[in-house]
Structure 1
Amino acid sequence: MKPAFAASRREFLRRTAALSSLGTAAPFALNLAGIGAASAQSAGDYRAIVCLFMFGGNDHNNTVIPYDTASYAAYQAARGGLALPYASLLEITPATSQGSGRRFSLPAEMTELQALFAAKKAALLGNVGPIIAPTTLADFKAQRNLPGRLFSHNDQVSTWQAFKPEGVRIGWGGRIGDLLMSQNSDATFTSISASGNAVLMSGNTVLQYQVSTSGAIRIGATTSSLFGSAKSAAAIQALGMAGGDNLLEQDHAAIVKRSYVAADKVATALAGYPATDPAFTLPTALASDSLGLQLQIVLRMMAARSTLGAKRQVFFVGIGGFDTHDDQLTRQPALLARVSKAMDYFHRGTVNLGIENQATLFTASDFGRTLASNGDGSDHAWASHHFIVGGAVKGGDAYGDLPEVRIGTAANPHPLDTGGGRYIPTTSVDQYAVTLAKWMGVPASDFNLVAPNIGNFSTPTLNFL
């Protein structure tokens, strides 16, 4: 074989191998060379993390709201018509003080999350976002050492998931999978997305396996019959797996076969855990909700973990609609109600399955939004607040920082306000990622393989797990 052909064939294999786990929407996530040897772990247990991504940029200012009199007054003054009525708020009480007299709350529609927080099954992570190193207002003004393309949706979704703007192909969830996949007897089911292609889930070696809310996504014929004929479906499948004399044809056939085998394995595994089982029954409010249905398939995949040969898994689910430049007071409450109910449903599901302490859900979003109102909504910002839910979570507490909620002025500058209440993060996504990676079993020596900027932070891990 000539060297040039060998190289092109290797590249073809690297890129088309993604097709082994899905149909037309294949992630070509293979641009990170030399990630290093996988961490040697021995796991007799099961652990999984689930990213719940809120696409569009959730307004965290109306998700975690000041509740003490002085702080609420400052919030109300800054938000104007976007301020939520004090009487409607649901107080949460972090175990660790955020400053003398400071109190916090959730909006009225997040009753389930309030209950999880009170039961110490949910924790709050404050003012988190993508930063390369600890960043000051002076750094921002000098445009020094900042993440690329701040405040851009696509770029910040990518930066949250992969530490670089749009175009990067390897995400930190996939990197965790790379390091832990050796614990799974079938690595196909290490990284699973129920919400389409997500760069978070693609590793250097691990490929994201995409599922629909009903189960496996098949290439070619989606059922065992084609136009009512089982023979026709079988013939189409056989054609897809038929190799030719050309090496690329043979490799393509092997990839197609692997996809069929994976889909059959998922279908068989999930047959023992039907959606109709009481363990997976969605509450009425989520019965036809896309986020609820995504979490339902995640729970069913978790239940089938032994059949799928999985001991370490990373999952991804998503919900859109958070780009609330306008009509925010109508749109955001309905979205947050869905998120709250979905998190509660997922937690209850893990309890039903006996894996409450082995499955952790965490939220993420493009960015936060400005504290200042634009008249009918809020605009793109930077840092935001997020939640972590699960039996292993050190819940009922706040981690990171919850900055004073006000807009900086010349007379009374705010040390984090870059303008309009657009705050600089004080906790990095790297620290968020590494804390989850550590809980999954990644050793400290491999933290930099998960989060490349982690060496810039004196405290790499947080304490919510």
Structure 2
Amino acid sequence: MHLIDPKGHSRRAFLQRSSALALAGTAMPFALNLSAMSEAAAQSATDYKALVCVFLFGGNDYANTVITYDDDSYNKYSTIRVPQASGGVAIAKDAALAATLLSPTVPLAGGRQYALHPQMTQLAGLFNTEGNVAVQLNVGPLVVPLSRALYNNSNKKLYPQPPKLFSHNDQQSTWQSSSPEGSTIGWGGNIGDLVLNQNSNSLFTCMSVSGNAVFLSGDSALQYQVSTGGAVRISSVSSASSASLFGSSTVKSAMQLLTQQARGHKLENEYNKVTKRAVDAEGSVTTAIQSAYPAGTFPTTGLGNQLAMVARLIRGRGTLGSKRQVFFVSMGGFDLHDNLIANQPGLMKQLSDAMAAFHRQMALEGMGDKVTAFTASDFGRTLASNGDGSDHGWGNHHFVVGGAVKGKAIYGSPQVVSIDNTSTSAGYEGHVGQGRLIPTTSVDQYGATLAKWFGVPDADLPAILPNLRNFGGSLVVNGTTYNYPKDVGFMMPA
């Protein structure tokens, strides 16, 4: 296998090349993979497309989200995690779990089956009935394909690993950007850098409904933050707020003039330019989002409210002058070292209900195939229980939702359900201890699949995704072949 060292690509070269070379850190994660793809895709864009990152802060537990269901695999899962009735965290194989059993169009090899968490009825229904959900098994940061033996190999130049695995802050940053904690540029922001000219008002290219996120930080693109109620106003100068300030319309007029007029002093002038831009942007967003959706359109949860605002911003894309947008929303609470059984169900229901409602509303507005939402998280967790929860892991299962998704399908390599540390066991090579999955799909592959949906030609992918050159082949482990296609296949052609 010919390895590409991402450090050999400089960020300066990436910014200078019109064909969009991506640079990176030690591991080219999803973050920077997608940061480069949009230049080739959007320079001649005449339609609208949006990506919506749904980040699950804390590291979602994969084993109780996409639950192995066939008898052999389920029995192993239940033995390892111990049934709830016996004080463990294994979800019972009962009618509730049967209700979320996934029925892919093409059954998985070996009779493998999966069900979603019993509270994820909406996403399960969207998968089975409408076919607009894909499940990507065991995806995570990789520089090269790895087995446990290769992970333990001392030659880290030949078998490099993503940095600072199992750390919350570092892996959150790795998924959102090119590097561990301390990174200042994210893949969403880099997309913004490359598509600014496609939007008549570049300020609305990268939008967060979840506060500040490195995901949306670019070199030129500014991260525009809104709340679930809309644009954030500077009340003392906003024309949309009260007509007076301190009981005086004269004071308000004076404040508007003082904070927005051109100044001779360079720093004062820049400060006023920022203020004026904020005031103008707030007015544009307020006009664009129009009225709220009728009650019942979205669940009134944290994520539901965030996605409702994203939908309103997409609905107002014409007013905002946008053809390409990247959004960030999030949920917290997934760091369940304990209380997994008590706390995860509510989180799973919130995620499922909100993502399903968001897609169905986009479809009603004729935008279902123009908007793709996907999940990301710090990492997966251990298959082994610590008694009342699970600990930090690596690979994780994720969802991709949208009308352009080749849904009703499960992608990736089903994992061997095992925590066995015996080197001759069937599951040994698939984890690095306690069932911490070694990803069998890299974020580069994940990114390449989305890149092609954005319209990036195959010939441009190696330049945009340097680590993608390390994939496209296969890895044979103890007689089992694991394939690493450059395009995982869950998106329709551009």
TM norm structure 1 = 0.87
Corresponding letter in the other structure for 1:153: H
Distance 1:95 1:415, change over 3 A: farther
SS in 1 for 2:111: coil
Corresponding letter in the other structure for 1:214: G
Residues 19-418 of structure 1: pairs in structure 2 closer than 5 A:
32-34=11-13, 35=15, 36-37=17-18, 38-39=39-40, 41-80=43-82, 81-87=88-94, 88-89=96-97, 90-118=100-128, 119-142=130-153, 144=156, 145-219=160-234, 221=236, 224-225=241-242, 226-270=245-289, 273-275=290-292, 277-278=293-294, 281-282=295-296, 286-287=299-300, 289-410=301-422, 412=425, 413-418=427-432
Measure the CA separation in 1 of the matches of 2:346 and 2:63: 16
Quick check: 1:176–1:442 contact (8 Å CA) kept in 2?
no
Distance 1:372 1:44, change over 3 A: same
User: Is 89-98 or 191-200 further displaced after alignment?
Assistant: 89-98
Measure the CA separation in 2 of the matches of 1:398 and 1:154: 29
- By how many angstroms is 1:444 displaced? 4.4
Quick check: 1:381–1:422 contact (8 Å CA) kept in 2?
yes
Partner in structure 1 of residue 35 of structure 2: none
Quick check: 1:357–1:392 contact (8 Å CA) kept in 2?
yes
Distance 1:218 1:41, change over 3 A: same
Distance 1:115 1:228, change over 3 A: farther
Quick check: 1:128–1:426 contact (8 Å CA) kept in 2?
yes
SS in 2 for 1:387: strand
The CA deviation string for residues 287-334 of structure 1, in whole angstroms up to 9 with x for no partner, is: 2x1111100110000000011100111111000000000011010011
Distance 1:138 1:234, change over 3 A: farther
- By how many angstroms is 1:257 displaced? 1.6
Quick check: 2:178–2:185 contact (8 Å CA) kept in 1?
no
The CA deviation string for residues 228-270 of structure 1, in whole angstroms up to 9 with x for no partner, is: 5444444333322244433232222222222221111111222
Quick check: 2:235–2:241 contact (8 Å CA) kept in 1?
no
SS in 1 for 2:350: helix
User: Is 222-231 or 318-327 further displaced after alignment?
Assistant: 222-231
- By how many angstroms is 1:375 displaced? 0.5
SS in 1 for 2:222: coil
SS in 1 for 2:43: coil
Segments of 5+ residues of structure 2 without an aligned counterpart are: 1-9, 19-38, 83-87, 473-484
- By how many angstroms is 1:379 displaced? 0.2
Q: CA RMSD in A?
A: 2.1
Match of residue 433, structure 2, among 419, 423, 439:
419
Distance 1:282 1:194, change over 3 A: farther
Segments of 5+ residues of structure 1 without an aligned counterpart are: 1-30
Distance 1:444 1:259, change over 3 A: farther
- By how many angstroms is 1:401 displaced? 1.8
SS in 1 for 2:101: strand
Measure the CA separation in 1 of the matches of 2:441 and 2:273: 44
- By how many angstroms is 1:352 displaced? 2.3
Quick check: 2:140–2:379 contact (8 Å CA) kept in 1?
yes
Quick check: 2:140–2:439 contact (8 Å CA) kept in 1?
yes
Distance 1:355 1:228, change over 3 A: farther
Distance 1:169 1:282, change over 3 A: farther
- By how many angstroms is 1:99 displaced? 2.3
SS in 2 for 1:409: coil
Measure the CA separation in 2 of the matches of 1:330 and 1:300: 33
Measure the CA separation in 2 of the matches of 1:148 and 1:248: 40
Match of residue 449, structure 2, among 427, 435, 444:
435
Quick check: 2:69–2:112 contact (8 Å CA) kept in 1?
yes
Quick check: 1:98–1:401 contact (8 Å CA) kept in 2?
no
Provide the aligned length of Structure 1 versus Structure 2: 428
Distance 1:266 1:389, change over 3 A: same
User: Is 218-227 or 251-260 further displaced after alignment?
Assistant: 218-227
SS in 1 for 2:405: coil
- By how many angstroms is 1:205 displaced? 2.2
Distance 1:379 1:300, change over 3 A: same
Corresponding letter in the other structure for 1:361: A
Corresponding letter in the other structure for 2:490: F
Distance 1:217 1:174, change over 3 A: same
User: Is 38-47 or 292-301 further displaced after alignment?
Assistant: 38-47
Measure the CA separation in 1 of the matches of 2:153 and 2:250: 67
Corresponding letter in the other structure for 2:214: V
Corresponding letter in the other structure for 1:420: Q
Distance 1:263 1:68, change over 3 A: same
Corresponding letter in the other structure for 1:69: D
